[in-house]
């Protein structure tokens, strides 16, 4: 169900990280060592090498293609596989920073509010019993007094019951009074020793001084939170601009695909279109999240509770699904999407429904899906088709070693690879795409 760390890093391209790294093999500058771990350095270098190899392969496929059109294809590839993932990563980091800054601002505001309440409570007490009364001193004295002897009523009964005659009673009472005076003196001394508070007037001055400092801190935290939020908004706007550009370039490429003469160029363009379409699902998801947040805020202000995020993204026009998507002769096991939000299983359920294909609700973890589907009568084999569910065994091609993984086949390519759409726990409801070879090593769930 989960996406392995090494796998997901390949889809959130750390362009900013790569730019800070020396590409000299085996050499790390001090600034690099402070910024990243060695494993991150190796991952970044691996990603950079993979990106260069992908571009080289794409250029080879576009050999002989009109230069203008080839340039457009390469630009869309760069947007889809480099710029947009890097921008998304920047947005995620900025949003995390914004949330942290806002939490700090809220905490500072809470501390200020608490100090202001202390001041108001103390001012009320001053109005009632004066500014020189030492509350803590009196409280500590009472605690000390009570700890030394029982209640006054109990003491009196002890004196009465233990007296032989009236004279004995008077002597006992005088002795008890003397003891009480002694207790008062000892308790008063204990209060002096134990109490570190000030009288009310001094405490009020101390609280007012504290409020001054807390207000300055709260203002600073609030300003910082606003700045970080503005940075996050700017990065989000940049990401949206890149996605809008990608959508426009994809539409332009689709309109000119027929002019491509070589099969290699057609395949390259088709795969790139699918990858760009998969990212377009993320645009829809972002809009739905924003709408859900707005709805939740509106409902909260109306004291009507909050709303859940939508179940999934509404996609751009989907790749062609099999001509007969319906199922025949077996139960689907479908009672709704009960898979955890943003898991690979959650997305596959959504995507199969978008394609009009059946899928079960209780297939288990990713690696269990093929067997679960077989038990219900689904066709399961090792041959991919558009819309089929690709099942990764535990640890297979970077899949989680405990849960395995599942994806949806978006395209079966002429060169024997498949292009997928996938999600994972760390993707927060977003999807990504891969082109994977050695396709017959996997199980595929059909109808």
Q: What is the pLDDT of residues 29-50, one digit of tens each?
A: 333 333 345 665 666 677 788 8
**According to the model, what pLDDT value does residue 326 have?**
59
Rounded-to-integer distance, Cα 195 and Cα 24, Å: 66
Among 42-46, 173-177, 212-216, 391-395, name the one with the lowest average pLDDT. Answer: 173-177
Rounded-to-integer distance, Cα 339 and Cα 362, Å: 8
What pLDDT digit, counting tens, does each position of 115-136 carry? 999 999 989 988 888 877 766 6
**According to the model, what pLDDT value does residue 367 have?**
97
- Specify whether the CB–CB gap between 145 and 184 falls below 8 A: yes
pLDDT at 391 over 80: yes
Query: How much is the mean pLDDT over the chain?
Result: 79
The residue ranges of every structural domain in the chain are 5-65+260-445, 135-197
**According to the model, what pLDDT value does residue 197 have?**
52
- Specify whether the CB–CB gap between 443 and 382 falls below 8 A: yes
pLDDT at 165 over 70: no
pTM: 0.67
Q: What is the CATH number of domain 5-65+260-445?
A: 3.90.1720.10
Rounded-to-integer distance, Cα 369 and Cα 347, Å: 14
């Amino acid at each position: 169900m989960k996406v392995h760390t090494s796998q997901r890093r390949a889809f959130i391209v750390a362009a900013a990280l790569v730019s800070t790294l020396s590409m000299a093999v085996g050499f790390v500058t001090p600034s690099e060592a402070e910024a990243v771990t060695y494993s991150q350095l190796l991952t970044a270098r691996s990603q950079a090498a993979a990106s260069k190899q992908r571009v080289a392969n794409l250029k080879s496929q576009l050999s002989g293609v009109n230069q203008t059109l080839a340039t457009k294809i390469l630009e869309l590839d760069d947007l889809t596989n480099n710029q947009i993932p890097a921008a998304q990563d920047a947005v995620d980091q900025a949003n995390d920073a914004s949330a942290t800054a806002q939490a700090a601002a809220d905490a500072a505001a809470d501390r200020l509010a608490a100090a202001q309440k202390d001041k108001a409570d103390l001012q009320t007490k001053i109005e009632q019993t004066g500014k020189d009364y030492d509350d803590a001193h009196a409280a500590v004295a009472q605690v000390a007094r009570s700890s030394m002897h029982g209640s006054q009523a109990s003491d009196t009964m002890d004196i009465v019951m233990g007296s032989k005659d009236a004279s004995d009673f008077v002597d006992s009472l005088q002795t008890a009074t003397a003891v009480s005076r002694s207790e008062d003196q000892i308790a008063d001394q204990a209060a002096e020793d134990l109490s570190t508070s000030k009288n009310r007037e001094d405490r009020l001055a101390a609280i007012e001084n504290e409020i001054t400092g807390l207000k300055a801190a709260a203002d600073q935290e609030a300003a910082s939170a606003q700045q970080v939020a503005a940075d996050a908004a700017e990065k989000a706007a940049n990401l949206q601009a890149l996605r809008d550009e990608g959508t426009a370039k994809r539409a332009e490429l689709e309109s000119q695909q027929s002019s491509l003469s070589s099969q290699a160029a057609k395949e390259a363009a088709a795969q790139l279109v699918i990858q760009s379409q998969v990212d377009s699902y993320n645009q829809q998801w972002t809009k739905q999240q924003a709408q859900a947040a707005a709805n939740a805020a509106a409902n909260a202000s109306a004291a009507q509770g909050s709303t859940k995020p939508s179940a999934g993204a509404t996609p751009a026009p989907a790749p062609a699904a099999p001509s007969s998507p319906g199922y025949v002769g077996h139960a689907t096991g479908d009672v709704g999407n009960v898979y955890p939000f943003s898991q690979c299983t959650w997305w596959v359920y959504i995507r199969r429904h978008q394609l009009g294909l059946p899928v079960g609700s209780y297939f288990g973890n990713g690696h269990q899906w093929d067997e679960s589907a077989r038990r219900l009568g689904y066709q399961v084999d090792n041959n991919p088709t558009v819309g089929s569910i690709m099942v990764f065994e535990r640890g297979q091609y970077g899949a989680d070693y405990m849960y395995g993984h599942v994806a949806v086949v978006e395209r079966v390519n002429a060169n024997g690879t498949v292009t997928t759409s996938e999600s994972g726990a760390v993707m927060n409801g977003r999807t990504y795409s891969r082109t994977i070879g050695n396709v017959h090593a996997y199980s595929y769930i059909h109808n």
